[in-house]
């Protein structure tokens, strides 16, 4: 079950606009996405056949984290991961905007605000997972 206190905290931060300025809040979002993926059948189904690991680098605050989608689940952690499917780099504003569904990944990539090294198809598939997780979170808060 998705932690009600976590849902409330994320919703309050997003409503206040504070999340877009707080890089440490990204790990709360990863935890939320993980819990949502455990409960939401559509998201779980999308994750079922995936094996994608993303290394995320926030360039202007020297922050690194990773997220892995595999076997119907999401996992995450701080720091570096071995053999990512792709590495995504952006500044804090763009990275958090993507994470909170406020920035379109394709537009940001085309504008040069994001760099992707590795499998671009996996990057696009992973962005779809983030979008599904955001939708599922929004359903929980309606």
Domain with 24 in it? 4-141
Number of domains in the chain: 1
Residue 79 banded pLDDT, cuts 50, 70, 90: very high
pLDDT at 46 over 60: yes
Q: Could you tell me which residue, 27 or 90, shows the higher pLDDT?
A: 90
Structure tokens at 130: 């983030």
For residue 111, what pLDDT is reported?
A: 96
Please, is 135 exposed, middle or buried when counting C-beta atoms within 10 Å of its C-beta (0-12, 13-18, 19+)? middle
Residue 55 banded pLDDT, cuts 50, 70, 90: very high
Q: Could you tell me which residue, 118 or 29, shows the higher pLDDT?
A: 118
Residue 44 banded pLDDT, cuts 50, 70, 90: confident
Q: Could you tell me which residue, 134 or 116, shows the higher pLDDT?
A: 116
Structure tokens at 51: 């094996």
Q: What CATH number is given to the structural domain containing 20?
A: 3.30.1050.10
For residue 19, what pLDDT is reported?
A: 56
Q: Helix axis angle, 41-48 relative to 26-39, nearest 10°?
A: 90
For residue 22, what pLDDT is reported?
A: 66
pTM of the shown model: 0.85
């Amino acid at each position: 079950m998705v932690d009600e206190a976590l849902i409330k905290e994320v919703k309050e931060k997003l409503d206040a606009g504070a999340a877009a300025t707080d890089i440490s809040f990204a790990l709360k979002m990863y935890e939320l996405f993980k819990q949502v993926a455990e409960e939401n059948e559509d998201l779980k189904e999308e994750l079922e056949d995936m094996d994608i690991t993303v290394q995320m680098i926030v360039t202007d605050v020297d922050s690194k984290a990773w997220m892995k989608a595999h076997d119907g689940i999401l996992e995450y952690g701080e720091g570096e991961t071995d053999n990512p499917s792709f590495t995504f780099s952006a500044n804090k504003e763009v990275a958090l905007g993507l994470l909170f569904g406020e920035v379109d990944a394709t537009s940001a990539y085309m504008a040069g605000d994001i760099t992707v090294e590795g499998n671009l198809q996996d990057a696009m598939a992973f962005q779809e997972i983030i979008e599904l997780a955001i939708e599922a979170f929004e359903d929980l808060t309606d």
